[in-house]
Amino acid sequence: MTVIVLSGPVGAGKSSLTAILSKYLGTKPFYESVDDNPVLPLFYKDPLKYTYLLQLFFLNTRFHSIKKALSDDNNVLDRSIYEDSLFFHMNADIGRANDLEVQTYEELLENMMKELERMPKRHPDLLVHINVSYETMIRRIQKRGRSYEQLSFDPTLEDYYKRMLRYYEKWYDDYDYSPKMMIDGDHYDFMASESDRTEVLDQITQKLKQVGKLPKNWQAGEIARKAIEIGQ
């Protein structure tokens, strides 16, 4: 079995690449709970009040997803539990969580990570990180149209999004749960461009080969043809 997790900031294209990659490799996708998340719109309206609740909601849903992914056959997750600490500590650093909430959150996350260590498969096989600039991030946020994510909804989101990108730089450098690779989300528009999609899939395939984790049921070759079919 092969488990791939994606990472990247808001608007990077994680869900889109998850759909493309899971179809390409013949694996099962796991998506972050966003559109059916009752807390997320509340967080954007009042982040001081809802940060802790939102992070607990995400932590719980991601914990269930990663447990299922690590115990099933081949899977792709559009975000996993490994990024949760980044978001919570970023919000805590700007005063949206108190010391008790931070302590409780860290203890809960530590307990969850210890439980994952007891799984038959303890870690993903590959992290695929989508790196984007602020300009690309905002353009994709505008394109998908969630009102509460827009700068017009809350101008202070500009600082929040730029801060997020800075935090991701250190997070990616420090990540050591599995092999990792970075996709240039500014250069490759894998959602709209057929050739870019082919190139990104080729990069991920080569990395999986390198670490010896290409799914056994996947037949080598036909990268361009399969990429075209996925885009249809």
Q: Is 14 annotated as a binding residue?
A: yes
- Domain regions of the chain by residue span: 2-228
Task: Check residue 80 and give its pLDDT.
Answer: 81
Q: What is the pTM of this model?
A: 0.89
Task: Check residue 228 and give its pLDDT.
Answer: 47
Residue 33, judged by CB atoms within 10 A of its CB (0-12, 13-18, 19+), counts as: middle
- Is the pLDDT reported for residue 220 higher than 70? no
What CATH number should be reported for the domain whose range is 2-228?
3.40.50.300
Q: Is 185 annotated as a binding residue?
A: no
Considering only CA atoms, which of 162, 165, 138 is closest in space to residue 149?
138
Q: Report residue 71's pLDDT band, with 50, 70 and 90 as the boundaries.
A: confident
Share of the chain above pLDDT 70, in %: 91
Catalytic annotation present for 78: yes
Higher pLDDT, 36 or 42: 42
Task: Check residue 229 and give its pLDDT.
Answer: 58
- 77 three-class SS: strand
Q: What is the mean predicted confidence (pLDDT) over 159-183?
A: 96
> Catalytic one among 78, 93, 99, 125?
78
- Is the pLDDT reported for residue 69 higher than 90? no
Separation of alpha carbons 80 and 39, rounded Å: 18
Separation of alpha carbons 61 and 80, rounded Å: 9
